[in-house]
Structures are given as C-alpha cells and as structure tokens.
Amino acid sequence: MTTLHVDLGRQWRGGQSQALLLMRGLVERGHGADLVARAGSPLAGRAAAAGIKVYPLWHLLHTEPYALVHCHDANGLTAAWAAGAGRQSRLVASRRVAYPLARNPLAKARYRAARIVAVSQFVRASVIASGLPGEQVEVVYDGVELPEPAGPRIPSRRLGCVGYLLAEKGQELLIRALPLVLARYPDASLMLAGDGPCRARLERLAAELGIAPAVEFAGHVEDVAAVYRSLDVFLFPSLAEPLGSALLTAMAYGLPVVARPTGAVPEVIEDGGNGLFAGEEPGAFAGVVLRVLDDAELAARLGAAARLSVEQRFSADAMIQGTLQVYHRVLAC
C-alpha cells in the first residue's frame, strides 16, 4: 500500500509526533509512506532523518500513485482538498481537536474525506454533533512507544507537566496548587516542559506567589525522555483534552498521574486504578498530589498500572494497527 501523509504544522506537538510514529510503522510493515510538509518544519526534518521522502506542497497535485492520502492537520486537509487529492486517491483526515466543524476546513471537506479518524470517543462525539454521519468517523487512539523500564532512583518530590503553555492546558492550576504542596514538602519542585504564549504570565504568577525558585520553566526540550525520567509525579491539568500524548507518554514511563477528569481523560484514566482525578480548585488538586507524595506504595501501584494500560491499549503498535485497519476498510469500499 502506498500512502501520502500531509501535515503543514510549523511546530513539534502531539499530532506531528503521531504522524511520524505512523509513517515509520507503515514503512516497517512494508508499506510506502511519503510526506508533504513545510520546509524546515520539525516534522520534515525528523521524517527525512528517518528515511521518509519529504515533498513540498505542490506535490499534492500529483497524488495519482498513492492508494490513500492521510491528512494529519486542518491546514493539510484544506490544501489536499483544494488540490483535488481525494479525486484520485482515497482521503482520510485525522481529527485531534473537539472544536465545532462549522469553523473548520473539515466541514467543507466532509464529503471528500472517506473517513475522519478521531483520536478519542470525546472527539468523535464532537464531530458527529457537528453533522457528520457516525459511520464516517472512526476512533483510533494515539499510541506511544514503551521505553525500557528505568532502574531505581531516589525520590525527589519532583512534579512535572509536559505540554504547550496555553490557558486551556491548565498549567496555572499547578502553580496555584504548588504553595500548598510546599507547605508540607518544602523540597518539592515543579517542572513545566514546553513553551507557549502563556509562559510570561505563568512566570509572573509564580513570582507573585513567592514560589519562583521551586518552578522550573524548561522551555522546549529535545531530550524529553530525560524529563519524564526525572519526575516522581506527572500532573495533567488540561481543561478539555482531546486525548493527550504527553499523558500517555508519562504513563508509559510508569509515572503516577494526577489529572483533571475532562475531555477524553476518563477514556484513559480509571480513578484510583491507573491514576487519580483531582478537582479544579488549587486546594483540591494539591490534596490529591499530596496523597501520592505521602504514600510511596500508592505511587508505585499507580505507576505500574499506568504502564500496563499503555501496553494493552495505547501503544504505538496499537495505533499503527488501528490506522491500517481504517485504511483497509476505506480501500475496500
């Protein structure tokens, strides 16, 4: 099977990571996978380094050799649709957000895309609510690679969150909750790995609360594995997360997770089983974090269950196989 993938994102975020994982997996399974991406984008560079052919935008005018075109972002879908990619090749579009389709290029392309691949049931429901027929929308959960289990390390009460610094990602809650954690554990710290438009405001808030020395703004981190391995507890305060690649990665590293039960998070986390849910007030969130810091046995049990969940449901292999099944159903029509 020959496939063309389209992602015009300028940054390296969860969607680009999943696109690269998928393309690599397809090639490993004997399929063809080429990419249309912006020149100089992180995805273009990493895909080329992985041996994947990367083409400029005009390549969309020549999709006849491809059995299927898979668009991984809204801009890519718009470009493919405008170029008529769906006329010669089957068109599949990933959907990673839960915004109404009426304001999204997917609304215009709904009859061009043979399938919309939603990353969660939460996202699928939003697509159907926007007017697409249910049979056109399938769910394939994101997947992550499983790292080698880490050896024993000395606990340091290091809390962390990995993600773009946006209001809807909820990092403000973590900073407001941290003084309550520090009141019991003065040696605790919080790392925010990632950059974004809210960074300056979050830095000011940490200074205003007098906790700036305990908060590390790491910015964009190339070696993100080192971040996960340095943490004792992973925090996921997103307000309405479509799924959360960072959440899945933290679970793959066997970290106990404290998260808000919003968006698709309840599809991943079973409260008390493979993670803990916390409320939206700083005191409530801090209270759950303290439960984990107070109880090493609880932390270990949650972390082990989190990794098992990834092995069973959210591995990269499961994502690749699920996407291949969608491709085969599309091509069989």
| Per-residue confidence band for 64, with pLDDT thresholds at 50, 70 and 90 | confident
Q: pLDDT tens, 287-331?
A: 999 999 999 999 999 999 999 999 999 999 999 999 999 999 999
Predicted local distance difference test score (pLDDT) of residue 108? 56
Stretch 162-180: mean pLDDT: 96
With pLDDT > 90 as the criterion, what percentage of the chain qualifies? Answer: 80
Long-range contacts of 220-227 (CB under 8 A, 24+ apart): 220/12, 220/194, 220/195, 221/162, 221/193, 221/194, 224/162, 224/193, 224/249, 225/147, 227/160, 227/162, 227/191, 227/193
Task: Give per-residue pLDDT as tens, 129-148.
Answer: 988 889 999 999 999 999 98
Quick count: other Cβ atoms within 10 Å of Cβ 317? 14
Q: Taking residues 187-194, report their average pLDDT.
A: 97
Report which listed range, 70-74, 150-154, 181-185, is most confident: 181-185
Q: Provide the CATH number for the domain formed by 158-313 in this structure.
A: 3.40.50.2000
Query: Is the whole model's pTM more than 0.75, yes or no?
Result: yes
Query: What is the average pLDDT score of the chain?
Result: 93
Q: How confident is the model at residue 83 (pLDDT cuts 50, 70, 90)?
A: confident
Q: In this predicted model, what pLDDT tens digit does every residue of 195-249 receive, in sequence order?
A: 999 999 999 999 999 999 999 999 989 899 999 999 999 999 999 899 999 999 9
User: Does residue 110 carry a pLDDT above 70?
Assistant: no
CATH topology of domain 2-143+315-332: Rossmann fold (3.40.50)
pLDDT of residue 277: 98
Lowest mean pLDDT among 15-19, 96-100, 207-211, 242-246: 96-100
CATH 3.40.50.2000: which residues of the chain? 2-143+315-332, 158-313
Distance CA 267, CA 293 (A): 25
- What is the bridge-based pairing of β-strands 215-219 and 233-236? unpaired
